[in-house]
Amino acid sequence: MVGPVRPQFVLFGSSIVQLSFSNGGWGAILSDIYARKADVILRGYYGWNSTRAVQFLNEVFPKDAAIQPSLVIVYFGGNDSMGAHPSGLGPHVPLPEYIENMRKIIVHLKSLSDSIRIIALTCPPVDEDRIRETRSKFLSELVRTNELCGMYSEACIKLCEELDVKVVDLFTALQKGDDWKTCFTDGIHLSAEGSKIVVEEILKVIKSAEWKPSLHWKSMQTEFSEDSPYDLVAADGKTTLNPSEWTIHREIQWD
């Protein structure tokens, strides 16, 4: 692998994760925030539910890997919480099975190393009206409701409390504003505005966590941050300015 070796932050989940580098997504924002500090690695799989995640858990996170992640942000629940299809096919996972699947995922991640940190994201809300308006002719009717999303979100929170794992309550965070439906591109997947809320909530958790070492971006070492005569020349014409910590390009100055 390319060096130097940095801490690895792995994003693991379904389409909310796979698309997190699209449309000003939260994965891309995190990658920018942690530039020169950590490698943000995408392991998102469109359409997956927690059952499928468990099936491939050992392949995505092998226990004998030479380097284990410092942080895993894991999200499943949106597809699990869809209503059951009469055929028995489809991504729906009954709530008790979803809870046990998430338990297996978290327990496996914890087993990778003593220093690994985990943040779970709960099932976000959905814009039911928008889903009905944009339903694809190639898909059977999708049963997605806020009531179901809320049930799976609450279950995820309770499980994380039981397992002593950090959790971000996306179901609540994304519905705080009156215009919360602008958080979605199609009623399900996140817009740039929705992604900004996700990043804000993740950073709150990381900053407040009593992890040693801290994984908050301001506390982490910046790679090759020493002063250099090859840096940009200052206005005095005699010294240089070290740009390694500059954040002036960012639309939002994240805390």
Q: Is 108 a catalytic residue?
A: no
132-142 burial string, b = 16+ CB within 10 Å, else e? eeeeeeeeeeb
Catalytic residue among 50, 81, 189, 195: 189
Q: Is 50 a catalytic residue?
A: no
Report the pLDDT value the prediction gives residue 138, as an integer from 0 to 100: 53
Amino acid at 14: S
Place of tokens 């809300």: 125
Question: Quick check: 8 and 39 in contact, CB under 8 A?
Answer: yes
DSSP E strand boundaries for 47-197: 71-75, 117-121, 166-168
**Tokens describing residue 225:** 């941050």
Give the containing element (helix H, strand E) for 192.
helix 192-208
For residue range 109-168, list pLDDT tens digits in order: 999 999 999 999 999 999 998 887 766 555 556 678 999 999 999 999 999 999 999 999
Report the pLDDT value the prediction gives residue 157, as an integer from 0 to 100: 98
Place of tokens 């092998």: 62
Catalytic residue among 39, 186, 191, 244: 186
The CA-atom distances, in angstroms, between 116 and each of 70, 156, 209 are: 5, 19, 13
For residue range 192-237, list pLDDT tens digits in order: 999 999 999 999 999 999 999 999 999 999 999 999 999 999 999 9
